[in-house]
Amino acid sequence: MKKLFFAVLAALMLTAGTFAAPAPPEVAAPSAILVERTSGTVLYEKNSHEKLAPASVTKIMTMLLTVEALERGQIRLEDEVVTSDHAASMGGSQIYLEPGERMSLHDMLKSIAVSSANDACVAVAEHIAGNEATFVAMMNDRAAALGMQDTHFVNCCGLDSEEHYTTAYDISLMSRELLKHEMIRAYTTIWMDTVRGGEFGLSNTNKLVRFYDGTTGVKTGYTSKAGYCVSASAEREGMELIAVIMKADTSPHRNADASGLLNFGFANYAVVGLGEGENGAEEIPVILGRQDCVKVELAENAQVLIEKAQAPKVEKQLVLAESLEAPVEKGQKVGTLVFSLEGEQLAEVPVVAADAVERLGTMDIYGDILKSLLLKK
């Protein structure tokens, strides 16, 4: 399914007459990108490969490694994470952990996602890898695996360093990967919460969580070197977009740039499901089968990203075999469903047999012949 999805998107991006890019908004920040999450299709970019300090947007990778470790069963949300002297010494945004303080991984992860707590970030890194340096090596390995070619991390929380950098494009890659894990949304969409049994309040540094409809995450960041950064994601009508803003001069300008890009994407593009409602709608006769016909279904549910105004113009043509000879295997290709837009083919989705049909045995065939002869008398 993914291969088909990406192939369709690539074809559309190359077909200028079909995928005419609307005029984007003005973005004040020096570096930005807007992508559709599932495919990674770039809808807007501005200096998106410029290496810049990411500040706490770094924590997207920390959260990604954490949820991946959780899903592998390496760690559990119920784990008690012990704060080391090193973790407690972190400056910047924090929840003021004390050396030796114990807190559940659930509350630590919540503190990272909501309040951007540097101390919790380091404590979790040490819990997973034993020490921050080993965890940072894991971060760089994961970045390389994701194709983040212009990224290098030297810490897990985003404190400034000449050797700690990434790009808007690379941030979009790790944001897409993080959002594949549904569990993280339970943290990145929290507006206000508490830890330590309600004694310490958390307020999300990403104000879009409260003020932008459909926000799903992901992470803000700020240092004097990095400026105001954000990877902002939102979902509407089945399409999720990610807007990355780097080095904005103020928090309001950062949020305005991100909101503007998201608005632009939602206003002008749509993800269209191809073949929805097609399964089981058609049958093909089967010769010499124990059943007279077999129902068909789509082999995969393809989707395509197109300009929103073009969505109603998508046409489809179902091409099926006139008949099949038994045996028929479940999943056997029996036709195609072709989608096109203004004469340009968007996708060709395989149509397959929904069930298996066994071939009649010799005695069954003789029996059917005899029945037909008797009926004629």
Catalytic residues: 56, 59, 116
247-270: burial string, b at 16+ Cβ within 10 Å, e else: bbeeeebbbbbbbbbbebbbebbb
CB-neighbour burial class of residue 71 (10 A; exposed 0-12, middle 13-18, buried 19+): exposed
Tokens of 98: 């004390």
3-state secondary structure at position 328: strand
What is the distance between the alpha carbons of residues 324 and 60, in angstroms, rounded to a whole number? 52
308 phi, psi to nearest 5 deg: -55, -40
DSSP code at position 299: S
3-state secondary structure at position 17: coil
Tokens of 31: 């570096």
Tokens of 284: 């093909």
Contact 286, 323 (CB under 8 A): yes
Contact 219, 116 (CB under 8 A): yes
What is the distance between the alpha carbons of residues 294 and 335, in angstroms, rounded to a whole number? 13
**Distance from the first to the final alpha carbon of the chain:** 54
What is the distance between the alpha carbons of residues 253 and 251, in angstroms, rounded to a whole number? 5
What is the distance between the alpha carbons of residues 258 and 208, in angstroms, rounded to a whole number? 9
Helices (H), 73-204: 85-88, 105-115, 118-129, 132-145, 168-179, 185-188
What is the distance between the alpha carbons of residues 263 and 70, in angstroms, rounded to a whole number? 34
